Chains A and B, each alone.
Chain A
Amino acid sequence: MDETILLAHGSGSKLSHDLIEKSLLPPLDNPLLAKLDDSAVFDVSGRLAFTTDSYVVSPIFFLGGDIGRLAVCGTINDLAMSGATPLYLSLSLIIEEGLSLNELKKVIGSIKAAAEEAEVKIITGDTKVVNRGNADKLFINTSGIGIVPQGIDISGANAQVGDKIILSGTIGDHGIAVMSQREGLKFSVPIQSDCAPLNELVSQMLEASSQIHCLRDPTRGGLATTLNEFAKQSGVGIRIEEEKIPVHDGVRAACELLGFDPLYVANEGKLVAVVDSQDTDRILASMKRNPHGVDASIIGEVTEERRGRVIIKTRLGASRIVDMLSGELLPRIC
C-alpha cells in the first residue's frame, strides 16, 4: 500500500527525522542545507532582494507543473522582477495528514528540478503536518534572497511617458491549465501551465540594456492587474492594443466557455517590462533569444493622458478602460 503522511511525521519524533533525512534532504542536498542547524549561515555582499510567497494551488498536480515547481518559480520570479540574481530559497511544507508519500516525493522532485534549472539552492526548511481538513493536501511557503547588481533600479513606480511596454509571451496559460484540470475540461490541444523560472531571461534583458524601468510577472489578476499597478504606482497612463496581445487558441476557447477575460487570467512564466523607447529593440531581441521570451512583443506604451488608467484599443478601433480585477470568484490557482 502507498505510504501516507501521518501527524507523527510532523511531531519532531523519529518519524519526522526519517522523513527529512530519507525523502527531503537527499534530492535537495547541498552543504548549507546538510548542516541541519537552526539557521543556514552564509556570506553575501551587495544589495539584497528578499521576498516570500505561499502556494496553495488546487489541484497540486496540473498539466505543465505542480505545486513544487510553482513554489520555486514563483519566488525566483519575484526576485528576478527586482532585477536580482536569485541565490537561496527557504522551503516550508504544511502537509495535510493523509497525503501520499509518493505524491510528496514527486513534488520534492519538481522542486529539485526547478531549483537546478534556475541555479538556486534551497538552504533551509521546515515541515509541519496538520490534521485532515486543516489544509488541502499540501501548502508550501518559499522565501528567497538575491543580489541586485549596481545601477539597477527597477520598480513599478518608474514608468515614464514614452516608454514601451513589452510582454514576454502568451497570456492566461497557467490559470486556464489549472482551471481546466479542476473542471475536467478537455481540449484537443491540452493547455499547459507556463510555470517557469524567468531569472535567466531577466539577466539577458539587463545585459542588453539597463533602461528597464518596470518589471513584473503578471500572476494573480493577470496582465490587466499588473498594468494597472504600473499606471497607479507611476502616475502615468498606459495604452495597449488588443490585437497585439498573444493568446493561445485553447486559452481563448476556455475563456469563452468559462466567461473569463484572458487579460485577468494568471500567468506563472511571463513578464511585462516597461522600457525606455530608445532601447526597446535591443531588449526585445535579447528576449527572443531566450526560450521563455520567443513570443515577446511590444503591446503598448506609456502615455500622458488618463493618468492612473489603462486603456485598450479594441480590434474594431474603439477604446475602453481595462480595470483591475474586481472580487474573486475564481478558484485557487497559485
Chain B
Amino acid sequence: MRFIDEYRDAELGKKLVARIQQLSTRPARLMEFCGGHTVAIMRNGIRQLLPPTVEMLSGPGCPVCVTANVDIDRAIALARLPNVIITTFGDMMKVPGSYSSLQQARAEQADIRIVYSTQDALQIARDNPSRSIIFIGIGFETTAPTIAASILQAAEERIDNFCVLCLLKLCPPVMKSLLDLGEIKLDGIVCPGHVSVIIGSYPYEFIPRDYGVACVVSGFEPLDILLSVAMLIEQIENGKPRVEIAYRRGVKPEGNRKALELMSEVFQVGGADWRGLGAVPASGLRLRKEYQRFDAEQAFPITLEPVREAKGCICGDILRGVKIPADCKLFGKACVPEHPVGPCMVSSEGACAAYYQYGADYG
C-alpha cells in the first residue's frame, strides 16, 4: 500500500536504529507529545529498539485524556436535558466524569450519537429541526478547523438548533506550561504531527530558543518516529537544539493557511482546564462574540455538582510525564480498559491504554 508500506520498511527501520545507536553517546530524555505517537511507539515496540541512553516519556497530547472532569460533567448534564441530542466522537463515550459517563447517560435514555465528523452532526441537526443538537467539541488544533467550518456552515444555512460545547485546546501553550513547571528535565520533544499540519513548525521556535530543548515534528509511522528520534539525538549530541520537520510529506513550516484563517474567524484564544495541569492561560479556544449563539455553554447554562476526582488515579502525573502508567497502583488492576478509572485508560490514544494493550513490560 503506497504511502504506508514505505514508512514501515523493516530494513530502513534497522538502519535508523543503527544510526540512533551510533549517534547516542549520553543520556537523552525525550517526550513524545502526542498520544498517537505513544500508540505507534508501543505498537511497533520502538522502545525496545532504542539504546538505553534514550528515554522516552509520554506527553499530554491526547485530547480525551486532558479533558477535565468538570467538562465531562458538563457534557453529561447537557445530555440529560430534555429535547437535546448530543453528538460526539466515540472515544468520549466511556470517559468517567465525577459521577457518570456519557455511556452511562445513554443507557439512562439520553440521546447521544457517535459521529465521525462535524458534518454528521450538522446532518442530524438538519434532520431534527425541533431538537437541539450539541456537538462535544474536543480536540487540538487538528480538529479545530473542521469545527470552525461547521459553525460557519450552520450560520450560513441558518441551522439554529446546532451548537458546540467548545473544549478545544492548543498545544504550544501547554508545552510551555510543562517546561515552566520544570518537574521533568527534557532534552527533546517529538512534536505533534497532525497538529503541525495545521499550525506548522514556527509556533515551536520558542522551545529551543527559550528552553534549549530540541524539537522535531514527527509523523505516525514507525520510520517517522525512528527518523525523528535520530534527528533529535543528533541535535542533542551537537548541542544545537532547533525545530526540524521529519514529517515533511504533511507539514510545512507555515502550516495550513486556510485552516488557520477558518480558526481565527470563529475562535479566539482563551483559558482552558487541563486534566493534570489545571487552568492554563491562553491554551484553549473560545467562540468569538459573533458566533456565541453556537456556544452550548451560553445556550444551556447549567449548574454542576461539585467535581470529584477518582481516588488513586494518577492520570494527571502521567500526562505531565512525571510518572509512567506502570507507576500507578490501579494500572491493570482496578483500572483496565473495560472498567477505566481515569481517561488515560479509556482513549485509544491514552498512555495507560497503550501500555496496557501492548504490554507495559515491553515498553
A residues with CB within 8 A of B: 183, 243, 249, 252-253, 256, 259, 311, 314-321, 323, 326-327, 329
| Given A327-B94, A329-B114, A316 and B1 contact (CB-CB distance below 8 Å) | no
Tell me whether B362 is interfacial, beta carbon within 8 Å: yes
CB neighbours (8 Å) of A318 from chain B are: 44-46, 48-49, 362
A320-B49 contact, Cβ under 8 Å, with A249-B1, A329-B114: no
Question: Does A314 lie within 8 Å of B1, measured CB to CB?
Answer: no
Are the CB atoms of B4 and A317 closer together than 8 Å? no
- In the complex, what residues of B have CB within 8 A of residue A315's CB? 8, 10, 13, 44, 222
Asked whether B8 lies within 8 Å of A329 as measured between CB atoms, the reply is no
Interface bits B327-348 vs A (CB < 8 Å: 1, else 0): 0000000001110000000001
CB-based contact B358/A320 at 8 Å: yes
A-B contact pairs, 11 of them (CB 8 A): A243-B10, A259-B348, A315-B44, A316-B13, A316-B46, A316-B49, A318-B45, A319-B48, A320-B362, A321-B362, A323-B357
Bound CA–CA A329/B94 (angstroms): 10
Q: Are A314's CB and B338's CB within 8 A?
A: no
Beyond A252-B1, A316-B44, A326-B337, whether A321 also contacts B357 by CB under 8 A is yes
Chain A's closest residue to B91 (CB) is: A329
Nearest 4 interchain pairs by C-beta: A318-B45, A321-B359, A326-B337, A320-B358
**Nearest chain B CB to A223 CB, angstrom units:** 15
Total A-B residue contacts, Cβ distance less than 8 Å: 66
CB distance from A38 to the nearest CB of B (A): 39
Determine whether the beta carbon of B4 is less than 8 Å from that of A256.
Answer: yes
| Across-interface contacts of A311 in B (CB, < 8 A) | 359
Complex-state Cα separation, A316 to B48, whole angstroms: 10
Known pairs A320-B362, A329-B114; A314 contacts B44 (CB<8 A): yes
Q: How far is the CB of B340 from chain A (nearest CB, A)?
A: 9
Find chain B residues with CB under 8 A from A183 CB.
116
Q: Is the CB of A329 within 8 A of B93?
A: yes
Q: Is B281 an interface residue (CB 8 A)?
A: no
A320 touches B45 (CB 8 A): yes
Task: Confirm or deny: B90 has a beta carbon within 8 angstroms of a beta carbon on chain A.
Answer: yes
Least Cβ distance of A331 to chain B in Å?
A: 9
Q: Is the CB of B357 within 8 A of A314?
A: no
- The residue in chain A whose Cβ has the minimal distance to the Cβ of B10 is A315
Most buried by B among A243, A315, A320, A323: A320
Query: Beyond A252-B4, A316-B10, A323-B357, is A329–B90 a contact (Cβ under 8 Å)?
Result: yes
Question: How far, in angstroms, from A327 to B338 measured CA to CA in the complex?
Answer: 6
Nearest A residue (CB) for B90: A329
**A321 nearest CB neighbor, chain B only:** B359
Query: Hey, which chain A residues are within 8 Å of B362, CB to CB?
Result: 318-321
Chain B 1-43 residues near chain A, CB threshold 8 A: 1, 4, 8, 10, 13-14, 17, 42-43
